[in-house]
Structures are given as C-alpha cells and as structure tokens.
Amino acid sequence: MLKQISIPEDGLHSTISENEPEFRNTWSKGKARFEQEVLLQHAALRIGLFPLCAALANPSGGDVALIYLVVIPFVLLDLFITTYQAICVPVYGVPKAARADYIVFDRGHLAYLNLLERFNCFYGSHANGRSAYVREIAARTEQH
C-alpha cells in the first residue's frame, strides 16, 4: 500500500516543482518565499484591523466569545494528552507521536493578513493540529 501511495505522491511533488515558477514563490527551510511583486500585491490586499472589525461587527458578539472560549478545553486536552503520553504510552510500549508533526503554523505567515487574521490563523492551526495530534495518539493506542 505504501508503494501505491508513494507513486501519486511523487507525481504531485514533481508537478508542484515544475509549476513553482507560476506560483512565483520558492521554498526555503519549509517556508514559502514570495517574489517582491507578489508581496506588494499581498500588501495591497491587506485589510486594516479596524475596518475589518467594523465590517465584522455583530450586535450580539456572543458568537466570537464562544469561539475563543473553546481555547480552555483545548488547553485542558493538551494537558491531559501530554500527561497520558508521558506516563501511559511508555508503559505499554506504544510509540510516541511528535507534536511538531501535527501542529503547523504556516498560514499565519501570509503577508496580506492583518493582526486579527494572523491570530485567527494561529488559533485555527493550533486547534486543527491539536485535534490531529490527539487522533494520532488515540490511533496508536488503539492499534496497540
């Protein structure tokens, strides 16, 4: 199965490499580096923090509070899963999952994002990465 998966994956990597000039970026140490002209276009697309907040103004505001309040369960989940992986995983000989393989903060580096949008990208990347990390630990435990 791994060989079957690697064939299309290799094709995807070569297609991306061939079309990289069209994207007008290069990759260095896992990060996209854009041409100066593209960065200027990004800057032109950036919406200021205050105009964005005004455009998103919601009379209730409760939904925003609820969205950011979810950080509390994620912090507790992180605490419990870290403790579980430190204590239980070694006892049963289950291989540990590396947190860095699942939590990737790549979208927040886009030049056209303002401060709030960067924070939201950070928040979303962390939440999605943490969920994938927990699923991987659960899958490894179930496999054992």
Q: Which tokens sit at 37? A: 């002209």
Q: Which of 107, 113, 104, 106 is nearest to 39 (CA)?
A: 113
Q: Residues 69-79: pLDDT tens digits? A: 888 998 899 89
* Residue 123, in any domain of the structure: yes
Count of domains observed in the chain: 1
* Residue 21, in any domain of the structure: no
* CA–CA separation, 11 and 23 (whole Å): 18
* Residue 40, in any domain of the structure: no
* Residue 63, in any domain of the structure: yes
* Residue 98, in any domain of the structure: yes
Domain of 88 in residue numbering reads as 56-143
In the block, residue with structure tokens 């919601």: 58
Question: Quick check: 19 pLDDT over 90?
Answer: no
Global pTM exceeds 0.95 = no
* Residue 67, in any domain of the structure: yes
Q: Residues 102-143: pLDDT tens digits? A: 888 777 677 778 788 888 888 888 889 999 999 999 999 988
